[in-house]
Amino acid sequence: MKNKDLSSIRREYKFKDFTEINVDKDPLMQFKLWLDEAIEKKLTDSNSMFLATSTKDGSPSIRTILLKGLEDNGFIFFTNYESRKGIEIDENPNVSLLFFWRELERQVRIDGVAEKISRKDSEDYFHSRPYESQIGAYASAQSKVIANREELENEYEEILKKFEGKEIPLPESWGGYKVIPHKIEFWQGRENRLHDRIQFSKTNGDWKVERLAP
């Protein structure tokens, strides 16, 4: 199937340059600068990212999630540990994250290893969420096949009744992961497709910086 309209969609990228001189030596600090800029500019879902996982025999899957914490050594998100992504991370903790800030003509690619955060940290975050979201997480066996929407809504109402006026306990199957990166690539769109790509790779505990051809 040929689509004429798609083949002619293209644009020039000229928002900013990004060179070895203005990049922070610590890629997580550099990431924070770009994330802060996306947040300051009030970009929609500025903390959204794609998470790619794969089974142990290499079959991939990808989905959108939200970055909920940034630490000196990693990227934190929350999910259901028994979801498809949770099962795949159990089988193979090697994951990739991808941020795309369209308006800033920027992409960040991260390769790393996912590990569960402590139950206490998951609990603290879980209880900081709106009450209804806590119930929603409790009511949904994420990624399992369900009969219809009614089943989900009935489960929600039941949990709501069960915990009326009480604190919702953190479900066993719910919590956070931290992705500890070993490769981070910053992409800044430039004119004539001569984009800037600066890649950090961790070797023997230190970050090596290289430029990649666009």
CB of 35 to ligand FMN, least distance (A): 15
CB of 23 to ligand FMN, least distance (A): 28
Count other Cβ atoms within 10 Å, centred on residue 139.
18
CB of 51 to ligand FMN, least distance (A): 8
Whichever of 85 and 195 has its CB closer to ligand FMN, that residue is 85
Q: 11 catalytic, yes or no?
A: no
CA dist 125 → 73, 119, 174 (Å): 19, 10, 11
Minimal CA–CA distance to 173: which of 114, 126, 112? Answer: 126
Whichever of 23 and 171 has its CB closer to ligand FMN, that residue is 171
Q: Distance between alpha carbon 147 and the CA centroid of its chain, in Å? A: 29
Whichever of 65 and 113 has its CB closer to ligand FMN, that residue is 65
Residues that bind ligand FMN (CB under 6 A): 45, 48, 61, 63-66, 77-79, 83-85, 142-143
Task: Sort strands 196-203 and 74-80 into parallel, antiparallel or unpaired.
Answer: unpaired
CB of 174 to ligand FMN, least distance (A): 9
Please provide the DSSP assignment of 109-173 as one string.
EEEEEEEE--HHHHHHHHHHS-HHHHHHHHH--TTS--S-HHHHHHHHHHHHHHTTTSPPPPPTT
CB of 185 to ligand FMN, least distance (A): 22
Q: Hey, is 85 helix, strand or coil?
A: helix
The continuous run of DSSP H or E covering 5 comes out as helix 4-7
Whichever of 78 and 200 has its CB closer to ligand FMN, that residue is 78
Q: Note whether 97 and 107 are within 8 A (CB).
A: no
Considering the candidates 63, 102, 119, 193, report the single residue annotated as catalytic: 193
CA dist 199 → 121, 148, 178 (Å): 31, 45, 21
Whichever of 69 and 163 has its CB closer to ligand FMN, that residue is 69
Provide the annotated active-site residues: 193
